[in-house]
Amino acid sequence: MTDSRAARETADVLPADQRPDVSEEGEASTPAEPAAAAGTTSSPPVSWNALRPLLLRLHFYAGVLIGPFLLVAAVTGLLYTATPQIEAVVYRHELHVTPDGDPDALSAQVAAARKAVPEGTLVSVTPAPGRTDSTRVVFEKPGLPDNYTQTAFVNPYTSEVLGQERTFAGWWMPVRAWVDGLHRHLNLGEPGRIYSEIAASWLWVEILGGLALWLTTPRARNRIRRIVVPQGGPKGRKRTMSWHAVVGVWASAGLLGLSVTGMTWSVHAGAGIGEIQSALAGPSPAVSTSLPAADKKASAGQEAVNDVGIDAVVAAAHAAGLRGVMNVSPPTEDQATYVVKENTRSWPERHDTVAVDPATGTITDRANWADYPLLAKMTSWGIDAHMGLLFGLANQIVLALLALALIGMLLWGYRMWWLRRPTRTEGFALGRAPARGAWRRLPGWFLAPAVLIAAVIGYYIPLFGLPLLCFIAVDTLLGPLRRRRTDRTEAAA
């Protein structure tokens, strides 16, 4: 291809607001870096004018091809933000009670639940955390899907079983579990989790790339205002781009947080992040559920060990300072002690755990939330914020606004693509991608470490790395095909 034809192709492919000599707002842009003097052997600096086209092409392709995954995640996430209120209405009979004097003994409530679920194996008990809340008694039961349990809801004042529900992880009611499954894996099981991991693995790339492109766009006047306030004026690509970018600026911190926390509990990236976290922070404290040697010796030869009962166990946990939402697990074949965990996931979080000797009701071991590594705490805070639990209703509202912002940005992005379509051709046509070949203008000393960094990120975040390889492969194959088609067209002309 001749230099003149390459120039024409670049001019045709790039709209006026992205050509090297014109800014996004039609103002003069920063001139290109001057060529190195003859005989100069030092490596030339990498100018933003050389790097920007490459970033623009990546931002475009990721937006077009990853956009559908992000859109589904945003829509289902928006629906999820309303699930606490939906749950409170749909299951109000099971979840809420009218206070009536003092609560019954917790053992009486558990006994009533056992009668209601005779075929179940007791897993845990969550005493009513508030005066208007019911007690949850959770059972494992044959025939339930993985991670699902049967939960009986008991009126703490009368020990009446209010109802039973199949709950996810012993806590989420069916409506929330279904919406959460839709958001995480489209209710398709493990294979469906690929979609949400792709979305989380690319959201941070799109946000950071978009910020870099928008913040470095040359502007002659009102620079700060044009960065953070959408432009008015006639409808068109310039106004659409302004809304797309400005909303991205305002939502960037929250969306980056959602991307990171989404990857934290994903299948592939989550494993890699877990390895890094363990290497940097070490393991989180955990209680030992084995009995002390003296208790084991005292119980040797006995057919059964006396059990002080769940009420005494909860009293011991209260005396040890545990408060709020608590989860009590009874002894099992693999667990010799009771384990009482705080599960207060609103701010300030409480996650202290104690092990209680079933024979004496004494605390045998303890793990304090204060002793958790900072990275482990930050992960927990981030996940609970992602789920709308950390700050209650305010957290839900922020998540809903972020979901709406992401939906808007995606729709504006697709509209910009549509507005770039050729208007003089016959038939259906879409907007062209930014010009290819920008990487050829970057020096090897810059490309080599950049490729290495991308490879490392791709190793730890596979569903970032694999789509990136696909983009490069497809782009590499399409280039020669387009050039041959252009050559044939020009030859025929």
Looking at the structure of the chain, the number of domains it has is: 2
The Cβ of residue 315 has, within 10 Å, a number of other Cβ atoms equal to: 15
Tell me the whole-structure pTM to 2 decimals. Answer: 0.85
- Identify the pLDDT of residue 22: 37
**3-7, long-range: CB within 8 Å, 24+ apart, which pairs?**
5/486, 5/490
Is 112 part of a structural domain of the chain?
yes
Q: What is the pLDDT of residues 207-221, one digit of tens each?
A: 999 999 999 988 878
Closest CA to 475 of 60, 92, 142: 60
Is 300 part of a structural domain of the chain?
yes
- What percent of the chain clears pLDDT 90, i.e. is strictly above it? 65
Out of 127, 143, 172, a domain closes at 172
State how beta strands 363-367 and 161-168 pair: unpaired
Output phi, psi for 340, to 5 deg: -115, 120
Query: Can you read off the two tokens belonging to residue 130?
Result: 């508030």
- Identify the pLDDT of residue 23: 39
Decide: residue 449, CB within 10 A, 0-12 exposed, 13-18 middle, 19+ buried: exposed
Is 156 part of a structural domain of the chain?
yes
Q: What is the pLDDT of residues 354-380, one digit of tens each?
A: 999 999 999 999 999 999 999 889 989
For residues 429 and 374, which has the higher predicted lDDT (pLDDT)?
A: 374
Is 134 part of a structural domain of the chain?
yes
Is 415 part of a structural domain of the chain?
no
328: region left, alpha or beta (phi > 0 left; psi from -120 to 50 alpha):
beta
- Identify the pLDDT of residue 20: 40
Which residues, listed in sequence order, are joined to residue 163 by a DSSP beta bridge?
153
Closest CA to 154 of 179, 129, 127: 127
Out of 310, 340, 371, a domain closes at 371
Query: Can you read off the two tokens belonging to residue 448?
Result: 């080599």
Is 392 part of a structural domain of the chain?
no
Position 429 confidence tier, pLDDT thresholds 50, 70, 90: low
Out of 341, 371, 401, a domain closes at 371
Structural domain including 135 reads 98-172
Is 334 part of a structural domain of the chain?
yes
Q: What is the pLDDT of residues 287-324, one digit of tens each?
A: 999 997 655 555 554 545 589 999 999 999 999 999 99
Is 19 part of a structural domain of the chain?
no
Residue 137 sits in a domain of what CATH number?
3.10.450
